[in-house]
Structure 1
């Protein structure tokens, strides 16, 4: 039986104080996610809150990032409309990565074996040239390898080797390196 009232944030570090968290939520929900916010301004806002963002990064509207200070993005990455980076732990996105519409990177989970449902979080890495397709989900602790593809609707719960495609039904097969 779960004892949810006993859940605590023990061992979880948000990385910034309450004022910074509140300011980020205000900025994210009023400007950053808005359709009228230019992509360059989104990059600047993330950098202002501590994200490490490379050159030529495109971030579309409706993107949510829980904690910018726990985000690193390489050069020339695309982050599509509605992507959710739920980064309780660090997320590293390589260069020339595409995160398609409504993809989710989720570094947080709970220990289903513990009555107090404590956190079981882990970082995520998406290596250079990878593609996380529309509505694909990458879960805590996973590395998506170089030029790998998490296909549309896939749930990636274990490392995805380089040059591998994972489909929605969990099947994996090799893919050719992009030319």
Structure 2
């Protein structure tokens, strides 16, 4: 069956992956962030938290988001105490993205909370949540794929590509990322 035949057989399939309301909220968010968030001075973390919360994000009062970070859909973002989303981070939160207490997402890292079903003729978007555990570190330019859990105290090295769960207190690096060694445990 061709893609056109599939669309004619079931016209509801193949439509937008997200509702009109969802898409309008993302459009409004993009405008607000572009005008009021992206150009704010680096120390104005409270201002950026205010903007994100106004659009549905759940952020602890000590979470820090840098102005050049890109958040796709604020209602799907949750950040704990002293969690950091660094400069140039891409937070593609189609699915819920949770960044726990004291976790650090370093510059230009990419958290990708969604994918496509390659066997679906309509190639619909599929949200898949990501969790970055407490005291974990996603280093510069690393990629965390859809549905991945980065464990407590885990570390993904610079430019590492995590496509499966990273266990607690382990250091992973490479493409695809694999275990390098255990990380020394600490508490804050």
Report the TM-score when normalising by structure 1: 0.88
Q: How many residues align?
A: 177
Question: How far has the Cα of 1:171 moved from its partner?
Answer: 2.5
In the other structure, the counterpart of 2:149 is 143
The CA RMSD measured in Å over matched residues stands at: 2.4
In the other structure, the counterpart of 1:85 is 91
Q: Which structure is larger by alpha-carbon Rg, 1 or 2?
A: 2
Of structures 1 and 2, the one scoring higher in RCO (CA 8 A, sep 6+) is 1
Equivalents in 1 of 2:23, 2:107: separation in Å? Answer: 30
In the other structure, the counterpart of 1:58 is 64
Q: Do the aligned residues in 1 keep the contact of 2:26 with 2:72 (CA within 8 Å)? A: no
Name structure 1 gaps, 5 residues minimum. Answer: none
Aligned with 2:26 (options 21, 37, 47): 21
Instruction: Give secondary structure in 2 for the equivalent of 1:85.
Output: strand
Equivalents in 1 of 2:122, 2:25: separation in Å? Answer: 28
Name structure 2 gaps, 5 residues minimum. Answer: 8-13
In the other structure, the counterpart of 1:176 is 184
Q: Do the aligned residues in 2 keep the contact of 1:3 with 1:117 (CA within 8 Å)? A: no
Q: Do the aligned residues in 2 keep the contact of 1:142 with 1:156 (CA within 8 Å)? A: yes
Equivalents in 2 of 1:18, 1:118: separation in Å? Answer: 15
Do the aligned partners of residues 3 and 137 (structure 1) sit closer, same or farther apart at CA in structure 2, a change above 3 Å counting?
A: farther
